[in-house]
């Protein structure tokens, strides 16, 4: 193909915006865990108030599991939609080599660790990497 220039994009992973691309696209962080904290706390409290093994306890446990699955499913949908858009719209993707485990280990409090989890930093990098490989896109990890 004469005159074809591959489309390149740099992706910066953040907490406030999940990802920012070099072409100016911002993917905001919905913070699904942060938004559902109140519901989860209430479900945990009700579960602990009921007698273990009773029908009421099983019902409350089911509600708690459902609340957590809603958060997990929302995170998966966000990561899939962002990674699909980045991979299918670009030929070369450049991302920073990010150690989420290292970031979490140096954070001083649990709230910051939850923010790293809510921002999907590691999940998004992994999804973009394997989708780029499957689509034949070039993936560059920069230090």
pLDDT tens, the chain, 143 aa long: 567 778 999 998 888 888 899 999 999 888 888 889 899 999 999 999 999 999 999 999 999 999 999 998 998 999 999 999 999 999 999 998 877 677 767 777 767 767 766 667 788 888 999 999 999 999 998 87
Measured between alpha carbons, how far is 28 from 77 in angstroms, rounded to an integer? Answer: 13
Which 3 state secondary structure label does DSSP give 17? Answer: strand
Longest Cα separation, the chain: 72
């Amino acid at each position: 193909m004469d005159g074809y220039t591959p489309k390149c994009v740099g992706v910066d992973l953040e907490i406030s915006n999940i990802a920012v691309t070099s072409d100016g696209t911002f993917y905001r962080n919905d913070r699904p865990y942060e938004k559902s904290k109140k519901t989860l706390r209430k479900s945990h409290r009700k579960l602990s108030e009921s007698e273990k093994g009773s029908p009421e306890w099983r019902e409350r446990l089911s509600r708690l599991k459902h609340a957590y699955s809603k958060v997990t499913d929302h995170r998966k949908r966000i990561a899939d939609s962002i990674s699909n858009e980045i991979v299918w719209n670009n030929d070369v993707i450049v991302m920073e080599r990010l150690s989420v485990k290292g970031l979490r280990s140096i954070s001083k409090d649990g709230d910051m660790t939850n923010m790293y989890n809510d921002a999907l930093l590691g999940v998004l990098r992994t999804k973009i990497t394997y989708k780029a490989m499957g689509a034949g896109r070039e993936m560059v990890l920069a230090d």
